Amino acid sequence: MTDYFTVFGLPRKLGVDGEALQRRFYELSREHHPDFHQGAGAERQAEVLGQSALVNRAYRALREPLSRVEYLIALEEGREVREGATDKPKAPRELLEEMLEVQEALEEAKAEGLGGEAGARLREERRRLEERYAAEAASVVVRAPDWDRLVDEGGDRRPLLEWFKQRLATRAYLRTVIDDLSDALGEREDQHVSHRRH
Amino acid sequence: MSHIVGIDLGTTNSLVAHVEGGIPRVIPDAEGRALLPSIVAWTGNGVVVGEAARRQLARNAARTVYSVKRLMGRGYEDVKDELSRLPFDVTPQAEVVSIRIGDRAVTPPEVSAHVLRALKQRAEVHFGEPVEQAVITVPAYFNDAQRQATKDAGRIAGLEVLRIVNEPTAAALAYGLQKLSQGIIAVYDLGGGTFDISILRVKDGVFEVLATNGNTHLGGDDFDRAMVDWILADIRGRHHADLSGDAEALQEIRLGAEAAKCRLSFDERTVLTIPFEGFTYHRDIARADIEALVEPLVAATLGPCRQALADAALRADQVDEVVLVGGSTRMPLVQRRVEELFGRTPHSRMNPDEVVALGAAVQAQILAGGITDMLLLDVTPLSLGIETLGGIVSVLIARNTTIPTLAKEYFTTSVDGQTTVDMHVLQGERELSKDNRSLARFDLAGIDPMPGGMPKIEVTFLIDANGILQVQARELRTGKAASIEVKPTYGLTEDQVEQMVEDSFTYAEADVEARLLIETQTEADTVLNHVERALRQARDIVGAEELAAIETARTALRTARAGTDRDQIRELTTALNQVTAPLADRLMETAIKDAVTSKRADRLLENS
């Protein structure tokens, strides 16, 4: 599989200059976009189509700090990168206590309806989970420079990679719980597939 | 070098444009009109398109097809709710709907092909040489099947469709070419039948679409419908007449409503007068009346705008410019709601009816290599996924991903010796496959018999620059390309399109001249009919001298109409129109007077 970092001529590091990346993306697009190869033969056209698709995928994976970490994990583990995980994320142990509370609040709401205290409690639970959700993302981004240092110094990167994975798994799980709460509150307008919410 | 034209294939009107001397221009018809009404009528004289077909709307309702764009790439289930509103007969087929015209069944791409052919001919007359390649625009929120149907229409019309471009993006290109826009641009495009919102970053000649959203079943047509229902109820109340089953009357009301709606974009009040058999409907309408009617429809465009902003990770106040595209954005209510949402005054410095076609011409020029400093990066509007166990969608390509793009997925067999695997590809944002749009079912065939779970089949889903899906598969152990049989859920098969391309040569009038003659003759027939009707109603208000003049003009036109001299027919049609104009005015006045005097006194008091 083609390494998206090498598409942009970058080392496998998390510190990426966003503006430089965008400039390079535009340059590569001007080179490979099918618009500029309309007169070429069928074989060449198929080739630029593939290159153009690769550049677009690579840019999408690397442009955000968080998606960059997600991509890095997949790359280090030698997995194919997929936009969405098919399986529902499993509940991480550390969230057990929170989940029990949420469960309680949901039961309460079921018995009493959403109007009164139970509804308010559900909303409060959701607000707390959303904070936690944002915090998980922030914690990953904050530690990105540690990764780059390990790359430079040649240290053992596996523990940090594992830690990144844990954080992202927790975050993904939080998302599904927040969505479920919104459903219970009858507030979710459309059923967008949950993994696409960053 | 041959010309590549840009075509805006609209719900209500269509246009063709090209770049000349670095400037995109719309190519007008012989009468200087830029807009071609997207209406096709099957008449005794043959197929007519545009203005001539529009005149058939009321008289020949069952054989006059309009707003066919709303049926493109759609199944019966999608459109059954609105079929009762259409005067033509749509066959309830599960997959591709078709329209019954006499003893023929015509699919939406074939109807659109007639419109495209008329535009192609218009361009050929302009250039004096054949035109074979085009860029055609579609609503950004069109799904794969709707895009494919548009491409098919082009092929049936004898055009190689080099690119399908999203309408709001095309508009941005037209603005961009004139260096009118830089920064974050929101293009709000509300047309006759569809709504799109696109958010772009425009910088140094790069047009990067960040997010798009919309509704392919929301536009001026729906405004007209709301008005028609309101007028029908009003007629029921005031004249005790139920016209809801009268196809001809419905068309008259629809056309009247549409015209009144357009006037009310500029005037605070307008008068709607429609003569029917036995009575004349006469009604004073205020802008506020129709605003109350269409308010919920306009409000329905705001959700997609918010979603697009969220997907682009932007707040409304980060948008530098809001551009209005599409005829329906002339409505002051639309402008107010857009302004409230974005917190800035939207503009339409370029003609909102023409800007999309101009942008298509710019894209055509880019493809021709004539413009090299502009780069367009568009996105796919809908997520693409495959059905997995339990009917759940597994997303392969998320919405708003820059195209071209690809995703790979691996399949295997579940039982020993299995040689085929089927998969179901879907488009949409919902979790369950049944709630999404089914694009196609694929059969991977020719897998070598192996124990279950052994084969590893790599399937590549590629969305090209047109936003259209291509699928390839190969078995990784043997390296053999697996054959894929595609069964499009809503769409024509390759064979069907081929057949239609062939048919179009057989059925179509071979040359431009023949078609133009038919249109001119049809126009003459319409005027002759009108005059005959007017004379029947107005024998007593026509002077002898006037009558003689009218009869002379009528006879002259009838004689010319039987021949083939197009210019002569057109001149005499105009002459007859002119000589009868004062009579038409007087008839209108009497109709209004009758309407007023027949009003009951109490209602008059009530209204005054």
The pLDDT tens digits for A99-134 are 778 888 888 777 777 777 878 888 888 899 899 999
Question: B145 by DSSP, 3-state: which?
Answer: helix
Q: Which of A135-139, B21-25, B509-513 has the lowest mean pLDDT?
A: B509-513
**What is the structure's pLDDT at B343?**
95
Q: Are A182 and A48 in contact (CB under 8 A)?
A: no
User: Is B593 a residue of the active site?
Assistant: no
What is the count of structural domains for chain A?
A: 2
DSSP state of B453: T
**What is the structure's pLDDT at A173?**
86
User: What's the pLDDT tens digit per position in A114-123?
Assistant: 777 878 888 8
Answer yes or no: is pLDDT of A194 > 50. Answer: no
Q: Which of B347, B7, B352, B14 is nearest to B185 (CA)?
A: B347
Q: Determine whether the interchain pair A56/B430 forms a contact, defined as Cβ–Cβ distance below 8 Å.
A: no
Q: Which of B578, B410, B437, B485 is nearest to B78 (CA)?
A: B437
**What is the structure's pLDDT at A178?**
87
User: What's the pLDDT tens digit per position in B125-150?
Assistant: 999 999 999 999 999 999 999 999 99
Q: Which of A54-68, B124-138, B271-285, B525-539 has the lowest mean pLDDT?
A: B525-539
Q: Which of A19-28, B34-43, B157-166, B476-485 has the lowest mean pLDDT?
A: B476-485
A143 Cβ neighbours under 8 A, 6+ residues apart = A160, A163, A164
Q: Determine whether the interchain pair A33/B375 forms a contact, defined as Cβ–Cβ distance below 8 Å.
A: yes
- The share of chain B scoring above pLDDT 90, in percent, equals 55
Write the CATH number of the domain with boundaries B382-500. Answer: 2.60.34.10
The average pLDDT across B547-556 equals 90
Q: B4-218+300-377 belongs to which CATH class?
A: alpha beta
Whether A162 is in a domain gets the answer yes
Q: Which of A87-96, A120-129, B11-20, B82-91 has the lowest mean pLDDT?
A: A87-96
Q: Determine whether the interchain pair B430/A60 forms a contact, defined as Cβ–Cβ distance below 8 Å.
A: no
Answer yes or no: is pLDDT of B505 > 90. Answer: no
**What is the structure's pLDDT at B283?**
93
Contacts of A61 in chain B (CB under 8 A): none
Whether A74 is in a domain gets the answer no
Residues A97 and A141 in one domain: yes
Contacts of B366 in chain A (CB under 8 A): 35
**What is the structure's pLDDT at B603?**
43
Residues A50 and A98 in one domain: no
**What is the structure's pLDDT at B594?**
60
User: Is B189 a residue of the active site?
Assistant: yes
User: What's the pLDDT tens digit per position in B477-492?
Assistant: 777 776 666 666 777 7
- B585 vs B426: CA distance, rounded Å: 57
Residues A105 and A192 in one domain: yes
The average pLDDT across A2-31 equals 94
Share in percent of chain A as helix, strand, coil (round to 5):
70, 0, 30
Q: Which fold has domain B220-298?
A: Actin; Chain A, domain 4 (3.90.640)
- B528 vs B59: CA distance, rounded Å: 13
pTM of the prediction? Answer: 0.84
**What is the structure's pLDDT at A88?**
55
Q: Which of B215, B136, B141 is nearest to B400 (CA)?
A: B141
**What is the structure's pLDDT at B599?**
44
**Looking at chain A, which residue has its C-alpha nearest residue B463?**
A53
Among A13, A45, A63, residue at a domain's last position: A63
Q: Which of B188, B146, B141 is nearest to B166 (CA)?
A: B141
B472 Cβ neighbours under 8 A, 6+ residues apart = B459, B460, B462, B481, B484
- B385 vs B440: CA distance, rounded Å: 11
Residues A100 and A192 in one domain: yes
Label residue A89 by pLDDT band (50, 70, 90). low
Residues A14 and A104 in one domain: no
Label residue B381 by pLDDT band (50, 70, 90). very high
Is the ipTM above a cut-off of 0.90? Answer: no
- In sequence order, what DSSP letters do the residues of B471-519 get, joined into one string? EEEEETTT-PBPEEEEEESSS--HHHHHHHHHHHHHHS-SSHHHHHHHH
- B319 vs B312: CA distance, rounded Å: 11
Whether A84 is in a domain gets the answer no
Question: Do the bridges between strand B183-190 and strand B321-325 make them parallel or antiparallel, or are there none, so unpaired?
Answer: parallel
Q: Determine whether the interchain pair B395/A57 forms a contact, defined as Cβ–Cβ distance below 8 Å.
A: no
**What is the structure's pLDDT at B593?**
62
Label residue B33 by pLDDT band (50, 70, 90). very high
**What is the structure's pLDDT at B606?**
41
Structure tokens at B161: 């469709």
Residues A49 and A114 in one domain: no
Q: Which of A59-73, B91-105, B257-271, B381-395 has the lowest mean pLDDT?
A: B91-105
Share in percent of chain B as helix, strand, coil (round to 5):
45, 25, 30
Residues A43 and A97 in one domain: no
- B324 vs B514: CA distance, rounded Å: 39
Whether A72 is in a domain gets the answer no
User: Is B167 a residue of the active site?
Assistant: yes
Whether A76 is in a domain gets the answer no
- In sequence order, what DSSP letters do the residues of B174-226 get, joined into one string? HHHHTT---EEEEEEEE-SS-EEEEEEEEETTEEEEEEEEEETT-SHHHHHHH
Q: Determine whether the interchain pair A39/B392 forms a contact, defined as Cβ–Cβ distance below 8 Å.
A: no
B426 Cβ neighbours under 8 A, 6+ residues apart = B384, B385, B386, B387, B393, B433, B436, B437, B438, B439
**What is the structure's pLDDT at B466?**
94
Q: Determine whether the interchain pair B367/A35 forms a contact, defined as Cβ–Cβ distance below 8 Å.
A: yes
Label residue B504 by pLDDT band (50, 70, 90). low
Domain that holds residue A33: 4-63
Q: Among the ranges A81-95, B247-261, B572-586, which has the highest mean pLDDT value?
A: B247-261
Structure tokens at B185: 């641009």
CB of B434 within 8 Å of a chain A CB? The answer is no
Burial class (CB in 10 A: 0-12, 13-18, 19+), B544: exposed
Residues A128 and A188 in one domain: yes
Q: Pick the residue of B306, B362, B374, B377 with the most A CBs within 10 A to test the interface with A by mutation.
A: B377
Answer yes or no: is pLDDT of B407 > 50. Answer: yes
Catalytic one among B110, B152, B167, B523? B167
Whether A79 is in a domain gets the answer no
Answer yes or no: is pLDDT of B94 > 70. Answer: no
Among A16, A43, A63, residue at a domain's last position: A63
Whether A106 is in a domain gets the answer yes
User: Is B289 a residue of the active site?
Assistant: no
Label residue B303 by pLDDT band (50, 70, 90). very high
Write the CATH number of the domain with boundaries B512-598. Answer: 1.20.1270.10
Chain A / chain B CB contacts < 8 angstroms: 91
Q: Determine whether the interchain pair A191/B393 forms a contact, defined as Cβ–Cβ distance below 8 Å.
A: no
Q: Pick the residue of B371, B379, B380, B394 with the most A CBs within 10 A to test the interface with A by mutation.
A: B394
User: Domain boundaries in chain B?
Assistant: 4-218+300-377, 220-298, 382-500, 512-598
- B35 vs B356: CA distance, rounded Å: 12
Whether A68 is in a domain gets the answer no
Q: Which residue has 């229902």 as its token pair? A: B229
Give the domain CATH number at A20.
Answer: 1.10.287.110
Answer yes or no: is pLDDT of B464 > 60. Answer: yes
Answer yes or no: is pLDDT of B600 > 60. Answer: no
Q: Are B215 and B195 in contact (CB under 8 A)?
A: yes
